[in-house]
Every structure is written in structure tokens, then in C-alpha cells.
């Protein structure tokens, strides 16, 4: 299929990514670093001698303090992880907070501490790294980062997408594999289907039939209480059944030509189907304006049978027998026997965190600290220091035998990610490999995670257009700034008009006017930009 051929092309391009320079001067682990780049020093002494760098802990025996910037954080919490990390590395980590609306001004002022514990975007990396040379280029320090190098080998896209226009790496990526990463999430009340002798639908026709029967049983109430557009949890399961692509928006054909999917037949067929559901009252008529709490109320009262956005809030207490009855649907297909496909998960998030001030006297110490965030196992026996702990600190217990994890605070009380962000870490960065793990705590999260692992992730093979990893020239960015907001606004406006019947999706003249209007709003200009960025991305 087209999606698999495109995936192979992108992977091949990733594997051909050139290896850029190596690290700065070798420094003793007990002293602060004042290294120059490999371009000036000719590489590290360890590189010249052919000896691989072996990390040792603590990183330093000196009494040093490094300071990081966080944005919009409550500083009354201790953040126990950074204290534990400091005890392990021998470094005292301190933080200052900048409010979100003041961060760009703070950046421009240039009076920075040692590092940023906040994402610096690709544009800022270019401005302050490539042009300003005020950020450390991790490319000059990779010899001190064996864990990051291993991650780059396992996830070539992480390296490829983290490099700026000059090939430098100024901000580290995040790689997050988890069962809840997919956008394809549609749940249902298993008790309702079982009590009424209804089978779990797998095709789009079966879905329509089941919805129709549910509406009859529920005295006319709409059984589908969720957002339904193609980018929603529900739409992500439906859209691939109508053609070769997992999602609309921008795609590429077999030849690598970029095109806009929302003017193609697959999109029109999808909207025709969704309009039918809306027109017959199978979708709640206020789907476009209802929030998660409104959807949840309908599930609790028993009329909402299929749901998505509110799924994580469904509890056992909402059911008559006090038991949780929540099922997960696989991506829909057109015909029985077809292989389901949904949009692939994208675990790599470039430009995630940990930019370092090029004027810091502690570059080596910070580089070695951040490399721990990419370790797949403890960097020292019994230390509990590896990638996972940069996400959860000591609040997570992993059981490889049962493939389960347990979240609890140091007192032993059950906890959640909100507690962890406020009391343990500030922001996530590094490597989190939990794709096959589910929570050990019975309940909603466990049931949904089981469902995603068995019903969704096996079919996440639909390659997405990789625009989230693109970098743009100034001229290209100017085109995007000129057209994209109005272009996207019109697309979204017409999407809902087609679904609700305000505009007739079956009328060729109406459809042709929609396409021609997009052309006047810059579709060809945007297409040219994405084509250039896509070609450049594959050529790197």
C-alpha cells in the first residue's frame, strides 16, 4: 500500500543521515568543563586515542551548583527527583521560574543561567543556536553521551528531526512509547451491547447498523456522543476505511508528490458517511460544541453508548451493577476481512528540552547529566537512574515479568502524573519505553490500556506526513504565515457545514467551489512549501 512504501522511503532516508562531528575536549570527571568544540580542538583525546568514553558516578567531586530555567511552575514544591539526581551525580541543581508570557522577552535579554528545563522550539534553536551560537551544540559532545547515541541508532528519526539547519543539535528530543499514545480511541458500553444482543462493530456498515439499533432501543437518543471529525479520536478510526491514507491534511503519493488530502475523494466519501450519521440523529446534534463533561453525563445516564473524549473519566460507579463495562474498538474497515489501519504513533518529539547555555562553565557536567535521561536501564546498579525516572522519579515501579507499572508517591500512596509534575519533576525529556506496559491498578486506565494494546496499536501502520519534523527557510515560513491561518479556518468551517448539511456534500458544484476557494486561499503556495520541506527532509 502507499503508506508502507512511504514509510520505507522515510526510514531509508533516516538511516542515511550523515554522521556529524564529535565531542569537545576530554575533561576529568572531577572538574568543571571549559571545553571548546571539536571544530576548534580536533576532537576529544578519547576520540583520538580510539578509546570509548565510560561514564562514572558521581560526575564530579567538586561542590558545584548549576541553575536551570523553568517556565510557569509552582516553585513551592521540592521536586524530589532533582534532589535525588544531585545526590547521585554530585551536582546541586537549582531552578528559577519565568512566567510563560515573559519567556520570549527573557530569552531575548540573553542573561541566562546554565540550562533550560523547557522546550526551545526549532525557530528559537535556529536563532540562538545556529545564528547566535549562544546554545551548546550537543553534536560536539556526543562522545560523552553514549546513551543518546544508542537512542539515535534505535530511533534514527530522533536524531534526524533534532538537527537544525546547520546539522547541529541544540535541544534534546523526547521519545515516548506508551499504550495511550495513539489518537485512535473509541470506546463503548459493553454492558449495553451484551444486554441487547449486539455485536462489536468492525466495518463502517456494521457501525451504522449498531448505532441505528442503539438509537431505537434508547427511544431516539443519539448513541454516539463524541467529536466525529477526522482528526478526532473517533474520526481517526473511521477515516482510513475510505481510502489509502490514515489521516487527511497533507500527504504524499507514490512518487513523493505532496498533496492536500481534504480535496480528495477519500475525504469526500468520509464526510458523506459522517453526514449520514448526523442527518439520521446517530451522532449527538451538538457534537461540535459539547465538552467532555457533557459527553460523560450522557454516558452516565445510559444514552451515550459510544464515546471517546470522556472515556478516561468513566467509572464503575456509573453503571447499575457497580462494575466497569468499557470496551475498545479497533479501526474500522470497509469490508469484512480487510486489515485495519490507523495513523501510526509518533513517539519522537524533537526540540523537547535541556538546551544548555554556551557560556556555562559546566557544559560537560550537564551533558553527562542529560545523557542519563536516555538510558534504557540503570546507569549504575541500584541507582534507579535511567530514562524512565526523568519522567516519574521514584514514583514508578516497573515489573518486566507482568508488563505492568505502579505509580505511587514515596509514602506508598497511589498517585498520578499531576502529582509527579508538581512534586517530582518539572517537564519530561529523554526516553520512556512503556509501549507494552499497563498499570497494575485495576480500573479505567487498565482497561483502556489493555484495549489500546490489543485493538489499536497492532494496526498503527498508516504513515503520517512528517511535517512536525520539518524546518523552514525564512521565505517558506513567510508563506505559511501569510496563508495557513485563513486556509485552515475555512477548511474547518466547511467541514462542519458538510457534516451538518448546511452545505450539500453530494452536490458537485458545491464541492468544486470548496476546492476552488481553497486554491484562492493559498493551497498551491502551501503545497510548494511542504514539497520543498519534504524533499529536503528526505535528502538530509
Q: Is pLDDT of 10 > 60?
A: no
Which of 94, 91, 24 lies closest to 60, judged by CA? 91
Task: Give the distance, in angstroms, between the CA of residue 502 and the centroid of all CA atoms in the same chain.
Answer: 34
Name, in order, each residue with C-beta under 8 angstroms of 33's C-beta and a sequence gap of 6 or more.
24, 25, 27, 361, 362, 363, 364, 365
The whole-model pTM stands at 0.83
Question: What is the spatial distance between Cα 79 and Cα 332, in angstroms, rounded to a whole number?
Answer: 44
For 384, the 3-state DSSP assignment is: coil
pLDDT tens-digit map of 130-150:
999 999 999 999 999 999 999
Region 32-59: mean pLDDT is 55
Q: Is pLDDT of 448 > 80?
A: yes
Interhelix angle 146-154/363-371, nearest 10 degrees: 50
CB atoms within 10 A of CB 264: 18
Region 409-428: mean pLDDT is 89
End-to-end CA distance of the chain: 25
Cα dihedral across residues 393, 395, 399, 402: positive or negative: negative
Domains of the chain: 2-168+349-394+410-439 (3.40.190.10), 187-345+441-459 (3.40.190.10), 476-539 (no CATH)
Which run of H or E residues covers position 252?
A: strand 250-252
Alpha helix (H) residue ranges in 18-176? 38-41, 45-49, 80-89, 103-109, 122-125, 146-154, 156-162
The pLDDT value recorded for residue 78 is: 85
CB atoms within 10 A of CB 331: 27
Residue corresponding to grid cell 442527518: 279
Q: Which residues pair with 71 in a beta bridge?
A: 98
Give the confidence band of 423 by pLDDT, cuts at 50, 70, 90: very high
Region 5-30: mean pLDDT is 36
Contact 184, 342 (CB under 8 A): yes
Region 496-524: mean pLDDT is 97
Residue corresponding to grid cell 437518543: 221
Q: How are beta strands 438-439 and 187-189 bridged, if at all? A: unpaired
CB atoms within 10 A of CB 143: 22
Q: How many CA atoms lie within 13 A of 420 on its CB side?
A: 18
The pLDDT value recorded for residue 24 is: 34
**Cis amide prior to 58 (ω within 30 degrees):** yes
Residue corresponding to grid cell 500512596: 413
Contact 263, 518 (CB under 8 A): yes
The pLDDT value recorded for residue 50 is: 53
The pLDDT value recorded for residue 74 is: 92
Amino acid at each position: 500500500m502507499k503508506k508502507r512504501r512511504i514509510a520505507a522511503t522515510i526510514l531509508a532516508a533516516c538511516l542515511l543521515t550523515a554522521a556529524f562531528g564529535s565531542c569537545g575536549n576530554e575533561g576529568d570527571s572531577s572538574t568543571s568543563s571549559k571545553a571548546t568544540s571539536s571544530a576548534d580542538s580536533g576532537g576529544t583525546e578519547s576520540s583520538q586515542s580510539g578509546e570509548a568514553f565510560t561514564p562514572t558516578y558521581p560526575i564530579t567531586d567538586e561542590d558545584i551548583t548549576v541553575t536551570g530555567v523553568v517556565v510557569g511552575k509552582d516553585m513551592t514544591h521540592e521536586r524530589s527527583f532533582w534532589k535525588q539526581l544531585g545526590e547521585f551525580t554530585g551536582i546541586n541543581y537549582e531552578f528559577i521560574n519565568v512566567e510563560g508570557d515573559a519567556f520570549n522577552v527573557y530569552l531575548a535579554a540573553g542573561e541566562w543561567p546554565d540550562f533550560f528545563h523547557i522546550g526551545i522550539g526549532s525557530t528559537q534553536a535556529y536563532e540562538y543556536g545556529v545564528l547566535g551560537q549562544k546554545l551548546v551544540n550537543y553534536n560536539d559532545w556526543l562522545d560523552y553521551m553514549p546513551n543518546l547515541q544508542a537512542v539515535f541508532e534505535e530511533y534514527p528519526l530522533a536524531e534526524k528531526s533534532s538537527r537544525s539547519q546547520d546539522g547541529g543539535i541544540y535541544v534534546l528530543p523526547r521519545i515516548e512509547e506508551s499504550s495511550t499514545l495513539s489518537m485512535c480511541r473509541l470506546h463503548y458500553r459493553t454492558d449495553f451491547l451484551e444486554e441487547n444482543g449486539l455485536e462489536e462493530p468492525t466495518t463502517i456498515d456494521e457501525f451504522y447498523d449498531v448505532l441505528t439499533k442503539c438509537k431505537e432501543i434508547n427511544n431516539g437518543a443519539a448513541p454516539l456522543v463524541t467529536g466525529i471529525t477526522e482528526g478526532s479520536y473517533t474520526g481517526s478510526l473511521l477515516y482510513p476505511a475510505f481510502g489509502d491514507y490514515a489521516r487527511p491534511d497533507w500527504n504524499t503519493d507514490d512518487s513523493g508528490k505532496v498533496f492536500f488530502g481534504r480535496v480528495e475523494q477519500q475525504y469526500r466519501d468520509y464526510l458523506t458517511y459522517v453526514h449520514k450519521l448526523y442527518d439520521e440523529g446517530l451522532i449527538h446534534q451538538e457534537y461540535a460544541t459539547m465538552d467532555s463533561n457533557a459527553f460523560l453525563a450522557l454516558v452516565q445516564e445510559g444514552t451515550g453508548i459510544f464515546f471517546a473524549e470522556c472515556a478516561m473519566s468513566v467509572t464503575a460507579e456509573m453503571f447499575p451493577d457497580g462494575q466497569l463495562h468499557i470496551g475498545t474498538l479497533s479501526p474500522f474497515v470497509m469490508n469484512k476481512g480487510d486489515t485495519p489501519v490507523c495513523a501510526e504513533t509518533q513517539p519522537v518529539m524533537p526540540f523537547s528540552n535541556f538546551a544548555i547555555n554556551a557560556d556555562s562553565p559546566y557544559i560537560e557536567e550537564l551533558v553527562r547529566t542529560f545523557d542519563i535521561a536516555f538510558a534504557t536501564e540503570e546507569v549504575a546498579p541500584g541507582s534507579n537512574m535511567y530514562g524512565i525516572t526523568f519522567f516519574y522519579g521514584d514514583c514508578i515501579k516497573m515489573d518486566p515479568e507482568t508488563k505492568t507499572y505502579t505509580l505511587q508517591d514515596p509514602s506508598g500512596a497511589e498517585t498520578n502524573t499531576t502529582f509527579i509534575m508538581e512534586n517530582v519533576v518539572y517537564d519530561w525529556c529523554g526516553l520512556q519505553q512503556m509501549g507494552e506496559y499497563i498499570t497494575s491498578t485495576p480500573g479505567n486506565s487498565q482497561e483502556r490500556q489493555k484495549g489500546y494494546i490489543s485493538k489499536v496499536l497492532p494496526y498503527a501502520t498508516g504513515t503520517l506526513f512528517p511535517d512536525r519534523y520539518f524546518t523552514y527557510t525564512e521565505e517558506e515560513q513567510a508563506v505559511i504565515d501569510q496563508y495557513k491561518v485563513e486556509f485552515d479556518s475555512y477548511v474547518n468551517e466547511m467541514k462542519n457545514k458538510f457534516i451538518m448539511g448546511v452545505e450539500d456534500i453530494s452536490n458537485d458544484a458545491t464541492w468544486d467551489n470548496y476546492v476552488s476557494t481553497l486554491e484562492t486561499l493559498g493551497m498551491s503556495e502551501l503545497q510548494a512549501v511542504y514539497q520543498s520541506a519534504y524533499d529536503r527532509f528526505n535528502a538530509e
